[in-house]
Amino acid sequence: TSTHWGTYHVQVADGRVASLAPFAEDRDPSPIGPSIVDLLDHPTRIRRPAVRKGWLDQGPGPANGRRGVDPFVEIGWDEAEQLVGAELDRVRSSFGNSAIYAGSYGWASAGRFHHAQSQIHRFLNCIGGYTASVNTYSYAAAEVIVPHILGTFTGLLPRHTCWANIADHCELFVAFGGLLLANGQMGNGGTGRHVQREGYKAAVDGGVKFVNISPRRLDMESPGDPEWIPIRPNSDTAMLLALCYTLRAEGLADESFLASHCTGYDRFGAYLDGKDDGVPKTAQWAAGLTGIDAATITGLAREMASKRTMVSLSWSLTRQQFGEQPYWAGIALAAMLGQIGTEGGGVGFGYAIANHIGNNVRHVPYAALPQGRNPVKDFIPVARISDMLLNPGGEFEYNGRTYHYPEARIVYWAGGNPFHHHQDLNRLVAAWDRPDTVIVHDWCWNATTRRADIVLPCTTMLEREDIGVTPRDPYAIAMSKAVQPAGEARDDYDILAGVARVMGVGDAFTEGRSSGEWVRFLWAESQRRAAAVGVELPDYDSFVDGRYFKVEPPETRPAMMEAFRDDPEANPLRTPSGRIELFSEVVAGFGYADCPGHATWNAPDEWAGDASGEFPLHLLGKQPANKLHSQLDPGAWSKAAKVNGREAIEISPDDAAARGIADGDIVEVRNGRGACLCGAVITSELMPGVVMISTGAWYDPEGAGSGGRCRHGNPNVLSPDIGTSPLSQGPAAHSCLVEVTRLEGDAPDVQAFEPPAFAPRKGDS
């Protein structure tokens, strides 16, 4: 089977999955996957359709604090289909299709057909459309700002300079936000062979010097003795600007490249010189913001100019207030070095963040499930769901235009977990009460399903047949149905086909095909598309018999943006000028004070540079090493990393000693938005003034309503629910201040993995 965290051989005994063995082609398999074995028949597994009793008894309407509190009533599939169909009909006929918000957010399955987001969007388009979301929680700020600078962002991700090219040609790899190889276990859409650790080691063995600019030494593994420059969180833009200033002031900038391949350097240079605001962006200026001495900054700038240098920007840099700016400043730095498009040099976005970054893969345009056309024009930036639910009709800015939030009467979620991804979860709880109905497909009782009105149990990747393919990975995996679904769980496709029949659009949704027929259809279409680019895929039966198929890598190993570098006239960027826009007239025309048309320093509302008040510690929520987001959190591998059953919080020895905290203590982490309980891990690998909690612990608040302390350690009860800026409105989770204290007395039991209560329906004995 193929998963986002790897491919595994499934071993079945007596009709049950006995174990998952690593894929033979994978030299660095992830230990996450085998955790699913025990979860297929876990107490959290949803076995039958269920309806919140209050909704069933009283009908649709705002929940008045009852979502997450009321027991559930189990019902049959026929009734479930009728309830969902009738509610969708009621809302679309009374309020229009924009009142249906499809919040589905990827990551549910690596299968090409059984991809929950594709399924729900296709279904809703068959009934007239829905309000959609745009961008991602991973890098929303980059998705909006980088196209203004380079013409595209997501189009560059699969075309990054590969690791082999870096190993052969790079001399200096400077990683802003670190290079955490554990994150590279993941690859959205599926992962065949993990390449990040192998690529990093090859680069180290090839003599590449690595520099880790991060608050945490462990954000880069130790082979090769990487240099660690501890930096104050949220100050990367200041350091990047100071590096640019040093290149400019010392005559180290590549003036020829700036003139031939860029536009707006004069305007950006004036800002660096302080002509706009009276503040030259010197190393001394940045030292006061970053906590890095000026000599280190100027020395690094000179070293970068003297070597073939890769400027690496972590996706995490975008998830802070003004998260657009470090990417713009990082691109400007790489442009001033004049190395964009060179072998081993230039700029990169997210090395080690996902397995496919830097993986040299021949692009195959595999077919996906057609979703049709969504006639509804309303949308929201993905991280603004609470704003939409709390402020229907309210205005919001996005990428230079003003829009209005629709009034969402239904939230329909299939795939993803908003009570993991979203910020300020107590605010989300209050917002989640507002719609008339929440419908969720899932296979486990997590924080989102427990707060739904109608819960429809779906299958896992081990309970259905599919194709594990993605253009980002060279392996196509024939995903076998290993076991029968648990209880009455159904594939998302079969769930939606049933509702579509009730609503009179069954033929439009299914086109007369079963799920197995759709899988074969998509493979046949993929064969045709692959042939057009010179790749011959086997027929479907041969593919299944062989278990997997590998597409051989391309013969060349081009550097990202190499063609543009070689001939910018023949290969212009998709920007207004066709060049790298160090100053953007378009962005300047938006009139945003915090984004005046070039990379700019803005002090966040909450950050370590201004942490002298009640909450003096800067909290960063890092990606977990032992699960994918919140997936498989009840599994053995995730639970083994917890401290006294709670998510760990890393804290420096100085900060722990000042608070009387010992290793392994249960501590309370709090600010004005909420609080959570964690297990303390004291480490000298983290700079003082900063604490870190992995995301992904299932939200487990005390009490019925919003404001309850999370017993399990979910850091998003603490993070602010604000947009990065009006430009992209991305999540700003990393701009967050907290205090940590040792918990006195007994800690409450964690209840995150307990199923909800069930009750008979009204009138039943």
Q: Which active-site residues does the annotation give? A: 105, 107
Cα three-residue angle 696-328-593, rounded to 5 degrees: 95
Residue 495 in contact with residue 458, Cβ under 8 Å? yes
In angstroms, what CA-CA distances link 74 with 58, 363, 492?
16, 46, 18
Complete DSSP assignment for 596-640: -SS------SS-GGG--SS--EEEEEEPPSSSBTTBTTTSHHHHH
Cβ contacts of 484 within 8 Å, gap of 6 or more: 15, 463
* Other CB atoms within 10 A of residue 505 CB: 18
Cβ contacts of 275 within 8 Å, gap of 6 or more: none
d(CA 496, CA 491): 9
Q: What is the CA radius of gyration of the chain?
A: 26
Tokens coding 721: 């629910």
Residue 396 in contact with residue 384, Cβ under 8 Å? yes
Tokens coding 574: 């998709």
Residue 234 in contact with residue 319, Cβ under 8 Å? no
d(CA 765, CA 761): 8
Cβ contacts of 387 within 8 Å, gap of 6 or more: 380, 394, 396, 405, 431, 721
Tokens coding 403: 């829009």
Crossing angle (nearest 10°) for helices 324-337 and 294-306 = 50
d(CA 154, CA 138): 12
Rounded to 5 degrees, φ, ψ at 140 are: -55, -45
Residue 466 in contact with residue 523, Cβ under 8 Å? no
